[in-house]
């Protein structure tokens, strides 16, 4: 969509939740965060990604809830990614609010796994269930997509998710 200039990778920057008197209440740092460029530098990202090999799902769920609460819902989407080395399985959970009055929760789960006996370097050897992963444009950029510029939701289909899985396992072997 040629939005490189509109999309900022802020990486693993630390964010703080402050109380009404300005005291720091808690601190969080995602594994990767993104936001639209027009956002001020002191604001939370619109997308936070938490990834782990060792943290429990309970711990990751606590982190997801923290992002929404600490940011006063400036964070619109949290992706939780947990790779299970022994099962060669990656689980991705997409968290967001369905409605502005609802609490955030998991709205999509994607499992990427490789059946035994197939080559782990070959992306086509991975099976994807629950995809594609759709990231809503308005959540990420805080504006409506411009159809004249061919803007729209970002959709990671089976091929992209298989490539991701192969890359994860190639660097962790």
pLDDT bracket for residue 20 (50, 70, 90): confident
The pLDDT of residue 68: 95
132-148 tens-digit pLDDT: 999 999 999 999 999 88
The pLDDT of residue 2: 74
* Bridge partners of residue 83, in order along the sequence: 90
The pLDDT of residue 159: 97
pLDDT bracket for residue 88 (50, 70, 90): confident
Cα separation of 96 and 167, whole Å? Answer: 26
The lowest-confidence range among 25-29, 50-54, 141-145 is 25-29
What number of CA atoms fall less than 13 Å from residue 106's CA on the CB side? 15
Domain ranges of the chain: 4-172
Q: What is the mean pLDDT of residues 30-50?
A: 84
Strand positions, DSSP E, the chain = 7-11, 14-18, 24-29, 32-36, 47-52, 77-84, 89-96, 105-113, 127-129, 133-135, 154-156
The pLDDT of residue 117: 55
Residue 172 has pLDDT above 70, yes or no: no
In this prediction the pTM is 0.89
The pLDDT of residue 3: 80
pLDDT bracket for residue 50 (50, 70, 90): very high
């Amino acid at each position: 969509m040629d939005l490189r200039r509109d999309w900022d990778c802020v990486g693993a920057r630390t964010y703080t939740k402050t109380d009404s008197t300005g005291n720091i209440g808690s601190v969080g740092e995602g594994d990767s965060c993104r936001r639209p460029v027009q956002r001020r530098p002191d604001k939370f990202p619109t997308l936070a990604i938490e990834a782990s090999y060792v943290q429990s799902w309970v711990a990751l769920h606590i982190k997801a809830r923290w992002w929404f609460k600490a940011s006063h819902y400036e964070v619109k989407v949290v992706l939780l990614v947990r790779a299970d080395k022994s099962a060669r399985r990656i689980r991705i959970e997409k968290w967001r609010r369905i409605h502005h009055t609802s609490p955030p929760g998991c709205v999509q789960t994607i499992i990427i796994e490789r059946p035994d006996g197939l080559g782990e370097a070959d992306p086509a050897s991975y099976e994807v269930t629950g995809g594609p992963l759709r990231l809503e444009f308005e959540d990420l950029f805080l504006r409506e997509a411009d159809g004249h510029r061919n803007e729209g939701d970002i959709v990671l289909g089976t091929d992209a998710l298989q490539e991701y899985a192969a890359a994860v396992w190639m660097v962790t072997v």
